[in-house]
Chain A
Amino acid sequence: MSLKYALFTGCVAKGAGRELMTATELVCRKLGIELVEMTDAACCGAGVISEDNEMVADIINARTFALAEERGLDIMNICITCQGVHRKCQVKLSSNPDYMSRVNAALKEQTGREYKGTVKIRHFGKILLEDYGLDKLRQAVTKPLSNINAGAFYGCYALRPHEYSDLENPDDPDEMERIIEALGAKPVKYPERLKCCGFPILMMNKRNSMALSGNAIKSAKDAGSDCVITQCPLCHLNMDAYQPEIDPDLNMPIVHIQQLIGLALGMSHDDLKMNTHIVRPTGAVASI
């Protein structure tokens, strides 16, 4: 069965994190996963539009779900924040039929569309585990990353609150580690791997924001990790773009999980645009 998804890119993969878009497209093409980019889907609101108006945020996301349903495809997210926001909206709508009908009435009035409640919404990593399968991924690896110690950083929206998480055990998950292992790398579980990267308060309290990402990077480093693997481009941005301000001596490469997979599939740093990162690949990561 061929795998085909409606790709919700999110804003960052089209903006400051374009390397994530490149890596996703390359990896999916190589693995034979077909993507249809949802060029007409709007920003998920990142939990910020709902600070101002919760219902508008839900209508916008219901529109996105309807667009995927119209295409007859399930949604693939490549940003954990988008994923968490989408899932929360979906759970809210399905657990409250009255609210769902009000959201749908507004959606219909403005766009003529309707969300039916059938679309499945998952992050890239979850799709890889559930639909593609780790055995197949293992077979596709041409360049096992046997020298790499890789510390996964999950991102809050993948984990909490639990009712919106699709991980089996969000208090002690191993989904990312299983992918890392399939690539031949050694997963490193470090104490701060389930913490917040601090990105949401970057504009409100930069000191605290940087303290959070700094702690996470240090924790990964102390545990012997060569790189931090992210599945959210916002975690990536905070840990990579701000790293020189946090502590210029950290020198910890921050790598999107799609890029790590790309490396194991034989792609180069240039293919995967790893050199657009603020912290250039160093040590074991540079030598792949």
Chain B
Amino acid sequence: MAQVTFRIFRFDPEKDKESRYQDYELELEPGITLLNSLNRIKSEQDSSLTYRMSCGSAICGSCAMRVNGHALLACKTQASGLVKDGVIQVDPLGNMEVLKDLVVDLEPFWKSLKQVDPWLQPDVSDNPENERLQTPEQFQRIDDATTCILCGACYSDCNVLGVDQEFLGPASLAKANRFIFDSRDAKTRDRIEFISEMNGVWDCTHCGECSTRCPTEAKPLARIMEVREAAMQAGVHNNNGARHALGFRETVGRSGRLNENYLPPRSVGFLNIPALIGLAPVGLRMFMRGKNPPIIHHSIDKADEVRKIFSKFEDYRHHPTRSSRPDDGASD
């Protein structure tokens, strides 16, 4: 049995001016989870240590915390794999305020979730007398997204939320996906338009933290990519994100290579004069260093092959469903 130091973030707003770390020594029994290690510390060494927990089975979503800087579920993770140089450092979730020790104020998380109307909004004009049924295939389409246990691990480590709390955030966008692809929901278009606005699905920087930290199959980044594809298909194009994707397709589809001079103005909109002016300084800086992309855009060799693939664009559209998702099991 190995002796391990648990270095735990402590903060009691009634007593402490500043947060601090407190070390606890524990002999790790084989297979013990992080949560049970904390439970032992609390019962055997320091009853003031405060954290959330309930189910102990990765169902309730209460025990998310950060270990060595990354969010995880304490009840789903064995402690032995977390030891680094004899130490396990435990912190509260990020991007939220600490209430006490490992307990954070989840209010911003709930607030962002409410913004996407996380409930089914079917068409009620037919006054159904029975429940609305789904085929297994229809349910499979949303199966992954429904597995979210609202633990907040993704919210904690999201890079964009780290600089902008107005961003809807990974769990809310995954929740929007869950209703956008629900065969019974009638607000699909409204939902797509809402999340296509500022602070929505196009503001995700693709850092991958959410999917990496997510303890279930909800994998928000994969859900975000699906929603972007749905928005493109639905023709909700009046925003920089969609225009950027269209511009990418246009230039690569023609020449096999990205035209870096074309994409920025295409993304902000060719008629958007203030935004075009906003692009000028960096363009000028790069020009002065001879760093601007070549004025004459060259195609790759054999670009006709690429053009042929793109010309069959719609035929090759791949509709991801859980059963046929190419990366089923893997995350985005």
Q: Does B301 lie within 8 Å of A11, measured CB to CB? A: no
- Residues in A with CB closer than 8 Å to B84 are 172
> Interface code B58-83, partner A: CB below 8 Å = 1, 0 otherwise?
00000000001110000000000000
> Interface code B120-152, partner A: CB below 8 Å = 1, 0 otherwise?
000000000000000000000000000000000
B212 interface neighbour in A160, A196, A215, Cβ under 8 Å: A160
Q: Does B208 lie within 8 Å of A16, measured CB to CB? A: no
> Interface code B289-311, partner A: CB below 8 Å = 1, 0 otherwise?
11111100010111101101110
Bound: A116/B246 CA distance, A: 30
A209 interface neighbour in B162, B205, B229, B249, Cβ under 8 Å: B205
B244 interface neighbour in A163, A172, A203, Cβ under 8 Å: A203
Q: Does A51 lie within 8 Å of B203, measured CB to CB? A: no
Q: Does A106 lie within 8 Å of B229, measured CB to CB? A: no
> Main secondary structure on chain A at its contact with chain B?
helix
Bound: A102/B34 CA distance, A: 44
Chain A interface, number of residues (Cβ within 8 angstroms): 77
Q: Does B240 lie within 8 Å of A204, measured CB to CB? A: yes
Asked if B108 CB lies within 8 Å of chain A CBs, one says: no
Q: Which of A1-55 contact B (CB under 8 A)?
A: 11-12, 14-19, 39-43, 45-55
Q: Does B326 lie within 8 Å of A161, measured CB to CB? A: no
Q: Does A49 lie within 8 Å of B252, measured CB to CB? A: yes
With A49-B248, A96-B328 as contacts: A200 and B312 at CB distance below 8 Å: no
- Residues in A with CB closer than 8 Å to B312 are 106, 109-110
Instruction: For the complex formed, measure the closest distance between the CB of A214 and the CB atoms of chain B, giving whole angstroms.
Output: 9
A92 interface neighbour in B252, B264, B327, Cβ under 8 Å: B327
Q: Does B292 lie within 8 Å of A172, measured CB to CB? A: no
Bound: A157/B206 CA distance, A: 9
Asked if A242 CB lies within 8 Å of chain B CBs, one says: yes
- Residues in B with CB closer than 8 Å to A178 are none
Asked if B155 CB lies within 8 Å of chain A CBs, one says: no
Asked if B40 CB lies within 8 Å of chain A CBs, one says: no
Q: Does A95 lie within 8 Å of B291, measured CB to CB? A: no
Asked if B156 CB lies within 8 Å of chain A CBs, one says: no
A39-B301, A53-B249, A63-B309 given. 5 additional CB < 8 A pairs? A54-B318, A88-B327, A160-B212, A277-B289, A278-B289
Contacts A/B (CB < 8 Å), 11 sampled: A11-B260, A42-B300, A48-B248, A50-B225, A51-B225, A96-B327, A107-B309, A159-B208, A195-B207, A196-B207, A204-B203
